[in-house]
Every structure is written in structure tokens, then in C-alpha cells.
């Protein structure tokens, strides 16, 4: 299997990357094809050092073309049977570490290397006792012995690295290993990617593993089951359904409210009202008023939790009331408490946590952790057309364990919004051009 050392340092261009070759392409498939042309098609002989996705060209980060960059190197050939015996003996009798210091580590590595060298090769004859003319001969013998010991240390360290890498990569058929690589390239957590492909191999079993079409279809099904779609907002006859959108600043809540309003008011001919408590940003309030004017929808501002019930009672005969809440930094405890009080007063039927698909993994994790204090019913993903790391979204969706309601794919109102489709997202993760049903 291809050796994988997936670490943050490898992606940032450190020394580990410098020891390998870098292959770029507009797609992961193109980058992998270039890698195989240089390093060969045998996955046993390739060690994957890192995968990076970014955009190239454009202006100030906009309009650039996507680039996939893979860094890999050829794995040194395995040593003979004598080294394997030495490795097994070393595994059965690991040396007791004398200390946790750097010196202790070097002493352990040096001792293991020396013992391995003694087992795998005969001990050289001792040099003759030096006389007055033998100083040069003794020095040469010492240098030769030092070189041999250093080579043994290097060999032991390479063995340790190989065992560590092999411990984390899946033991699956070649067709599934290609799917594993696709998931890792999409920044799905390595442990999750390994679990998924190993489950597919267990489910299929036997001769079905050699059928690449069956393998790909089953992997798509397993991923689709993980990304749970909750369907659209469901209206209730005879009363207004209230839906609140919450989330951090800059994720596109106001535009998403307008898209939902247009979907129900213009396409489904429902009575829709808009409410906002985003009085901190005058531009956001003006934007919502402009949308309401264009679609002939009533818009109300709510400056405090005490007034929200009166506003909602005003729209009790409508079909849908959409609440656009002010963006809150997950680090601002005071404003997060204001949002809590507002939601407690509004008592919405559904609360959707809005997340931007362009956010990096650490930020998404922080947002999910802090906003989980509220009663979140579903997750809504924005800017799906701009993301290059769908795997990060999968990691977050599984962590928060909520259904997906909608995804937005551009700035157009009402066109660029659709009901979240787990199968389509799964297809995008493994590189298929899946289309909406």
C-alpha cells in the first residue's frame, strides 16, 4: 500500500516535504496520474507525504483555478530476511527506556541499532593492539565501525517509521484504497476514511471486491448514509412555522433568508414574513428590507427579546416566518448570551445553524462547540461552490450529528439554494459528478 504520513507539517512545506517530489494538477486525478508516471504504479513503492488544495491565479484570492498538490517519494526497498528476524526479535524484547530525555532516546536508538547490527552481520575481527606505528590503522578502523553503527541506526529508524505508517493505513483491496486516497485528499479525517473503506470491504466480501463499479457504488451508499438529509422546511396548515437562522458573522445568513423567502413566496406561493434582530449592522437590515420590498414581503426589526413575541403574533396567520439573527462571534460570551435570550423569547419551531463551507477545520470546530449550547435542529451549509475541502464538512456534520437542511451554491436569489442531498455530497467527496435527483 502507499505509505501515508499525513501531518500538518507535511502540508506546510517543511523538511518532510522537501525530501519528496511534488506533483500538481487541476484535479486530484491529474495530480495522481503525474505522480504515478514518475514514481511508478506500484502503491507499495510510494509513500504519501502530504496533499494540499488551493487556488492559483485570480485577483486577491478571487477567481483562481483550483489546484491539487501531492507530495510523495519512493519507498526504499525492503531489506532481507536477516533484518526481518532482527526486527521480530527487537519487537519481542523491546529495550527498557533509561530516561525520557533526548539523550535517553538517542541512547536507546543507538543500543537497538548496535544489537541489530550484531545479529544481522558477523562481528569484525578486533584490530591488533596499536604500536608506535599503528595509530593511523586504529583510527581508520574506528571510523569504519562508526559508519557501520550509524547505518544500523538509520535502518532501525526507517523500520520504526514504516511500522508507524502501516499502523494507520487500511488493509483493503486496490479499488478501495483508491477511494481511501480520494477521501484523504478531500481532508476527511484519516481514521474516518480508514473506517469507511474497511466497512465497505467487510460488506462486499469475496469476489465483489474485484468489481470496481460495485466497490464505488457501495462506498457512495455508505457515505450517503452518514450525511443525513432532513429535507426542506415543512409548513403546517393553520399556523405560521417559525424558523431561525443562527451562526457566526460572515456566513451568509441574510442572503440565505432571502433565498428561502423567495423559494416559498415566489415559487410555492406561500405567505412569508421576515424578522431580523441584526440591529448591530445597518447594512444587513437595509439589505433585508430591499429583499422584502422586491418580493412584497413584510419585514420587522426586533431590538430586544421582550418585543419578539408581539411581532410573531402579528404574523400568526402567515405560512412561514423567517428570523435573521445577528452574527455572533463564538468567542463573545456577552453577545452569545443575548442570542440565547432572544431564542428563548422567540421559541422558533426550527433553529438552523448556518456554517460556511469555506471555513477551515479549526474554526468550524470552534463554531460548532460554542453554538451547540443552543437547541440546534438542523445544519445549513453556505458557499458550497467555493469550498475545496468537503471532507472538513463531513467531519463537522458527523461531530454535530444533525440533519442537513439546505446548501447554497452561489449568490443568486432564489436559484442558488437547494435541499441538502447526502448522495450528491458523497459523490463530490469521492470525485463523482453526481447530479441532483
Same domain, 21 and 112: no
Q: What is the pLDDT of residue 385?
A: 85
Q: What is the pLDDT of residue 128?
A: 53
Q: What is the pLDDT of residue 16?
A: 39
Query: Rounded to 5 degrees, what are φ and ψ at 324?
Result: -95, 110
Q: Measuring CA to CA, how many Å separate 360 from each of 363, 365, 393?
A: 6, 9, 9
Same domain, 349 and 205: no
User: For 62-171, where are the alpha helices, taking DSSP H only?
Assistant: 81-92, 102-120, 135-168
Residue 368 lies in a domain: yes
Same domain, 311 and 367: yes
Same domain, 145 and 161: yes
Same domain, 282 and 406: yes
If one counts the domains in the chain, the total is 4
Half-sphere exposure of 313 (CA within 13 A, CB side): 6
**Domain residue limits at 25:** 1-75
Residue 107 lies in a domain: yes
Same domain, 202 and 291: no
Residue 328 parent element (H or E): none
Residue 390 lies in a domain: yes
Same domain, 210 and 315: no
Q: What is the pLDDT of residue 17?
A: 43
Q: What is the pLDDT of residue 98?
A: 42
> Per the structure block, which three cell numbers stand in for 73?
517519494
For residues 44-74, one letter each, b for 16 or more C-beta atoms within 10 angstroms of the residue's C-beta and e for the rest, the string is eebbbbbbbbeeeeeeeeeeeeebbbbbbbe
Same domain, 189 and 248: no
Same domain, 37 and 108: no
Closest to 379 (Cα-Cα) out of 422, 335, 420: 420
Same domain, 195 and 327: no
Residue 304 lies in a domain: yes
Q: What is the pLDDT of residue 134?
A: 52
Contact 183, 430 (CB under 8 A): yes
CATH number for the domain that contains residue 386: 3.40.50.300
Residue 198 lies in a domain: yes
For each of the chain's 437 residues, which pLDDT tens digit applies?
Answer: 444 433 333 333 333 344 688 989 988 888 888 988 888 877 777 877 878 877 787 655 456 788 888 888 887 665 544 444 334 433 444 444 444 433 444 445 445 544 554 554 455 555 555 554 555 555 666 777 777 778 778 766 655 554 444 446 777 777 788 888 888 887 888 888 888 888 888 888 766 667 778 888 888 888 888 888 888 999 999 899 999 999 988 888 999 999 999 999 999 999 999 999 876 666 667 888 899 999 999 999 887 888 899 999 999 999 999 999 887 665 667 778 888 999 999 999 999 999 988 888 788 888 888 888 888 999 999 988 887 678 888 888 888 888 899 999 888 787 889 998 888 888 888 775 333 33
Residue 429 lies in a domain: no
Same domain, 217 and 310: no
Same domain, 264 and 383: yes
169 beta partners: none
Amino acid at each position: 500500500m502507499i505509505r501515508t504520513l499525513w501531518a500538518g507539517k507535511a502540508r506546510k512545506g517543511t523538511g518532510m516535504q522537501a525530501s519528496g517530489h511534488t506533483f500538481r494538477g487541476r484535479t486530484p486525478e491529474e495530480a495522481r496520474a503525474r505522480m504515478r508516471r514518475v514514481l511508478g504504479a506500484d502503491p507499495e513503492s510510494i509513500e504519501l507525504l502530504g496533499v494540499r488544495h488551493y487556488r492559483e491565479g485570480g485577483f486577491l484570492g478571487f477567481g483562481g483555478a483550483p489546484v491539487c498538490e501531492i507530495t510523495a517519494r519512493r519507498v526504499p526497498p525492503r531489506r532481507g530476511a536477516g533484518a526481518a528476524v532482527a526486527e521480530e526479535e527487537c519487537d519481542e524484547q523491546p529495550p527498557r527506556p533509561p530516561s525520557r530525555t533526548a539523550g535517553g532516546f538517542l541512547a536507546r536508538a543507538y543500543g537497538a541499532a548496535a544489537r541489530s547490527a550484531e545479529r544481522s552481520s558477523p562481528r569484525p575481527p578486533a584490530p591488533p593492539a596499536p604500536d608506535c606505528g599503528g595509530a593511523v590503522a586504529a583510527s581508520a578502523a574506528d571510523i569504519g565501525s562508526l559508519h557501520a553503527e550509524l547505518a544500523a541506526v538509520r535502518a532501525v529508524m526507517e523500520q520504526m517509521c514504516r511500522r508507524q505508517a502501516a499502523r494507520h493505513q487500511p488493509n483493503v483491496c486496490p479499488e478501495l484504497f483508491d477511494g481511501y486516497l480520494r477521501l484523504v485528499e478531500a481532508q476527511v479525517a484519516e481514521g474516518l476514511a480508514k473506517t469507511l473503506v474497511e466497512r465497505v470491504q467487510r460488506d462486499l466480501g469475496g469476489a465483489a471486491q474485484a468489481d470496481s463499479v460495485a466497490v464505488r457504488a457501495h462506498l457512495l451508499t455508505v457515505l450517503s448514509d452518514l450525511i443525513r438529509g432532513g429535507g426542506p422546511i415543512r409548513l403546517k396548515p393553520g399556523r405560521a412555522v417559525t424558523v431561525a437562522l443562527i451562526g457566526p458573522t460572515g456566513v451568509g445568513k441574510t442572503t440565505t433568508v432571502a433565498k428561502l423567502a423567495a423559494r416559498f413566496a415566489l415559487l410555492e406561493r406561500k405567505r412569508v414574513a421576515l424578522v431580523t434582530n441584526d440591529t448591530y449592522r445597518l447594512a444587513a437590515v437595509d439589505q433585508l428590507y430591499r429583499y422584502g420590498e422586491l418580493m412584497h414581503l413584510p419585514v420587522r426589526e426586533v431590538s430586544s427579546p421582550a418585543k419578539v413575541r408581539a411581532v410573531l403574533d402579528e404574523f400568526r396567520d402567515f405560512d412561514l416566518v423567517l428570523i435573521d439573527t445577528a452574527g455572533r462571534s463564538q468567542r463573545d460570551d456577552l453577545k452569545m448570551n443575548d442570542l440565547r435570550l432572544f431564542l428563548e423569547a422567540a421559541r422558533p419551531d426550527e433553529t438552523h445553524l448556518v456554517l460556511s463551507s469555506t471555513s477551515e477545520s479549526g474554526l468550524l470546530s470552534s463554531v460548532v462547540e460554542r453554538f451547540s449550547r443552543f437547541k440546534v435542529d438542523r445544519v445549513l451549509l453556505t458557499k458550497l461552490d467555493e469550498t475545496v475541502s468537503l471532507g472538513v464538512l463531513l467531519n463537522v456534520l458527523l461531530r454535530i450529528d444533525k440533519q442537513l437542511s439546505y446548501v447554497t451554491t452561489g449568490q443568486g436569489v432564489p436559484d442558488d439554494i437547494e435541499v441538502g442531498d447526502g448522495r450528491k455530497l458523497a459523490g463530490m467527496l469521492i470525485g463523482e459528478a453526481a447530479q441532483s435527483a
